[in-house]
A and B are shown apart, each in its own frame.
Chain A
Amino acid sequence: MISKRVFPWLDERLGLTTIYKTTLDRMVPKVNWWFTLGSATLFLFVMQLVTGIMLSVYYVPSPDKAYDSIEYIMTGVAFGWLIRGIHHWGATLMVITVFIHMLRVFFYAAYKYPREITWTTGVFLLLATLGMGFTGYLLPWNQKAYWATTVGTSIAGSVPGIGDFILRALRGGSDLSAVTLARFFSAHIWMLPAVIIALIGVHLYLVIRLGISSVPKEND
């Protein structure tokens, strides 16, 4: 059989068995269903990634055309409604799972020694997810998007002293404009995803290195 010869050859060079042993074939404490929230969030993130990349095929980040291009995705392109629908609802579900995941970790005290850094990266992931929600909300350039972002950036602008500066930095000027849309778009599809992917890498590495936390017993 060919696989009998191909697999050892590949294994010798790629170390597949080692990867399998360290990631999958390892002993973990018995845990309950609450421990699936992390992987659920990861799954949703992958779905967001796939559908988001697909949306960028037709989406145009300009105030003149953003609305029209989304209308085209929804009514003109085959299955555009499905792709955008999944992306829209995936965002909502992801915020929910990431938040409950955080509560689960808190409840089981899994953030304590030796998993402090896992927790810290997790909090950054939570913030980045909210950032994705905030930046993505503007992109359709509809009434809801426009006014929510107007208010949202104004809130950031109320920071004492440097508020006005933050507001201008967020909006790329004093008004919500094409510049705002362009930078929210860039943040939404390049900066935040890059940050999230890097953090997920660290987060998962730590989860595998330190093992899944166990459900605390009464004497723990």
Chain B
Amino acid sequence: MPAEYRLILKHALEPGYTPDLACYLRHGGYETLRKGLTLPPRTLPDGRSLSPQEQIREEVVKSGLRGRGGAGFPCGLKWSFVDRRSGKPIYLICNADESEPGTFKDRQIIYRDPHQLLEGMILACFANDVHLGFIYIRGEFTEGARILERALAEARDHGLLGKNILGTGYDLDILVHRGAGAYICGEETGLIESLEGKRPYPRIKPPYFPAVLGLYLCPTIVNNVETLCNIKHIVAMGGSEFAKIGTPNNTGTRLVSLSGHVRRPGCYEIETGKVTLGELIFDPAFGGGLREGRQLQAVIPGGVSAKVFRAGERVSLRRRGLDGKEVVEERDVLDLPYDFDTLIAAGSMSGSGAVIVIDDSVSMVDVLANISAFFAHESCGQCTPCREGSLWMAKILKRLASGRGRPRDAEDLLHIADNIPGGRTICAFGDACSWPVQSTVSKFKEQFLARGAEGEPYRKVAQPAATSVARLSGTGGGAHPAASALASSVSTAS
């Protein structure tokens, strides 16, 4: 039986658990911090001695922890890129922007258990010789920012933060910095620009790898909230113990944000790779299935930028067997274990862990129109393919969804989507806005073609009647489609 495996949310979801320091201390809080900060230096067989910082970094490498923000990049490796010889200060930023639609896992940690995040973050800062850290929290989490400020003040009062932490001589301060509603701030270099007080335009890499030229052009580490919480557990149990949770190369647990058309939407913590996508949706321990009389139509496995899966789709997975030979295995999408590697092999990704379930009550044209409107709104506008392309796709989809489609819309959408990603833009937003279009249009082509055929051919009308909104929104016998096209384009341009 698939079940939840609570490591990060172990206490947070218990009734009566409060976000204050006293409650956290009662549950064994900050013991790991004390342990980590006072690790005795270890001598290696070759006579070299490892400082406590190096030991923690080594444990994180051993743990196989992969970043939980979306890309799944190995955390230990990311830390190893940090330029430690530059003589410049090293900064660590906790990415709490949580802006990928469908994701709400970091909210659970920040609102319910902020001290766990702080403990993990202080350990991560210590391990990387950081003396000033930032928590970049999305602007809409007003209450979350207050909770974090309170938690930071409590930690400072108890000597867990500030000068000479726990008497070890280590100094660290952490600041809460609020964003202001822009999705692109979740991209790490965009976030850094934003933290510098600028527009969050992502930086071009090379040369601006954060590990070398990050915040104020100093070496910088950007880690997700969930990743930092895991650091605490890695220090507590040791890297190799941690690696036993989950599956090889997909270690630890994952917080899955389940939403959409399921009976029990919510945030569930699973052992990575030990629960399948189908179980997440249908098992009573998780989503509990769809509403009465509804059929599964599609699943978005990792936030709206992930490629969509069609229900009943079969994917071929290439795996290396025990004998080293490559085997090709065919599986139903619902039988895919929820982890990083399998979903990538299946042509999508687990991204930020957001599973959005879509049943047959909606049209995929409307779903895609909603997603593309999001990306068109959030493109930062730096690179032409993304700025123009995301808008074109959203415009075509808006027209298609409102019954004014053209037969070649599906083709046009694919053509645009194929020309944005793949290194044509500075950041991965270009890929993120095209993947849903590419996958949805190709996997649900019949719906797009049907909608395209439905729409009346576009004709210019000599006299665009002063169409009122009431007439536009009214159904049946209302405005002429072309007239409403004009009217709505006028009203949106204002």
Q: Are chains A and B native binding partners rather than an unrelated pairing?
A: no
Point out residues on B near A: beta carbons under 8 Å: none
Point out residues on A near B: beta carbons under 8 Å: none
